[in-house]
Amino acid sequence: MKVERSTKLIITNLIFTGLILITTLLLTVYYWPQNNMSKNVKVAINQGESLDIISKNLLNKGVITNKRIFQLITKIKGLDTSIPIGTFNLKSVNVNKDIINHLVFGIPERRRITILEGWNSRQLAKHLSNEMGLDYDNIIKTVNDKNFIKSLKIQSESLEGYLYPDTYFFYDGVDEVSVIKRLVRESQVFWNDSNIAMANSMNFSQHEILTLASIIEGEAIYDSERPIISAVYHNRLKRGMKLQADPTIQYVIEDGPRRLLNKDLRIKSPYNTYLYKGLPPGPINSPGFMSLHAALYPQENEYLYFVAKGDGYHTFSKNEKEHERAKRAFQRVRKKVKRKKATL
């Protein structure tokens, strides 16, 4: 009996000693001293990066001195897949505990990105590439990826027009797909029950309204004119007239935007509204809220034509005779401006 008691006591002591050693080891690893950082260090965590890549980055930045110990304690705490993307400012983080907590529970920096109304996907891709370091080709590829578009439940051959213009805040390290998803998600906010019902009552699909809105966006500078321009196109569609919308030509020429030439109006493209009746196959840019609203709620008028005045506004006409008179007036303004420039 004494032997059994002695054996049990030894085993109990060994277990207790083992627990103390393990606890001590864990606490040592958890509070393992790293570099005594007095300066601010920025660390970027990109989407899809593994713990190994993250720890290598921290080591190269001088945040940690032992990669394996950092990885060990992160895995023990079950946080190896919990580090979010973004850029973190690390300062006075001298032990593993502080570093891990700062990365997992801290707030990463956000980048303010503004997408302008009227940008097409190429312009948007260039902007995101310049401002966020995203890959231009990957953006264009994603915008035209049929399977990706289908997964978003968008009935279109391209996401052109579905990349809603607004000001966004993104964490550094976000990838192209995530950004595109966010823009598309915002584009769907416009389509509440009331707007869906209005489109249906007009016998227009959401895609068609978006297409018309993009043309309005390409034509209008001032919000007050958007419903009037919308009415012109609605009136022409009802009469079976060609839209003859210059922005659709600007979309297909490679060196635009520029002053259009007569040969441009003969370009064989389904987007050429000078050659083909009806709406083009899809949007030509990303329209803003005011153009979307104007496409759904046009002003009631009988205008069929409009031409620029030279000051950002337009002259609207009900017949071709009025339109030709307005065109001549604009030509006089253009010649006057040209002569003035020549004297400078």
Buried-state track 232-253, b at ≥16 Cβ within 10 A, e below 16: bbbbbbeeeeebebbbbbbbbe
Kindly tell me the burial class for residue 78, based on how many C-beta atoms sit within 10 Å of its own C-beta (0-12, 13-18, 19 or more): exposed
Look up the CATH number of the domain holding residue 36.
3.30.1490.480
DSSP 189: T
Domain boundaries, position 78: 31-105
Enter the DSSP assignment of 262: G
If asked whether residues 298 and 210 sit together in one domain, one would say yes
Residue 308 belongs to a domain: no
Instruction: Point out which residues pair with 114 in neighbouring strands.
Output: 167
The burial class, CB within 10 Å (0-12 / 13-18 / 19+), for 107 is: exposed
Q: What is the pLDDT along the chain (344 residues), one digit of tens a residue?
A: 555 656 665 566 556 555 555 555 555 555 555 555 556 788 888 888 899 999 898 888 888 887 888 888 788 888 888 888 888 878 767 777 788 887 888 778 888 999 999 999 999 999 999 999 999 999 999 999 999 999 999 999 999 999 999 999 998 888 999 999 999 999 999 999 999 999 999 999 999 999 999 999 999 999 999 999 999 999 999 999 999 999 999 999 988 889 899 999 999 999 999 999 999 999 999 999 999 999 999 999 999 999 999 899 999 999 999 999 999 999 998 888 777 777 76
Contact 232, 306 (CB under 8 A): yes
Peptide bond into 257 cis (omega under 30): yes
Which one, of 217, 236, 233, 182, lies nearest residue 293 by Cα? 217
pTM recorded for the entire structure:
0.79
Closest CA to 327 of 307, 311, 313, 312: 307
- Coil vs helix vs strand at 305: strand
- The beta-strand segments (E) located in 72-174 are 86-90, 110-114, 167-171
Straight-line distance from the first to the last Cα atom of the chain, in angstroms, rounded to the nearest whole number:
115
Identify whether residues 296 and 217 lie together within a single domain. Answer: yes
Q: Which amino acid is at 310?
A: G
Q: 257 and 175: one domain?
A: no
327, part of any domain: no
* Residues 163 and 114 reside in one and the same domain: yes
Last residue of a domain, one of 147, 163, 187: 187
In a domain, 329, yes or no: no
C-beta atoms surrounding 167 within 10 Å: 9
256 and 278 inside one domain: yes
> Is 255 part of a structural domain of the chain?
yes
Q: Is residue 23 part of a domain?
A: no
Number of domains in the chain: 3
Question: Is 64 found in the same domain as 121?
Answer: no
Which of 76, 105, 134 is a domain's end point?
105
DSSP output for 32-97: -B-----S-EEEEE-TT--HHHHHHHHHHTTS-S-HHHHHHHHHHTT-TT-PPSEEEEE-S--BHH
Phi, psi of 193 (to 5 degrees): -60, -40
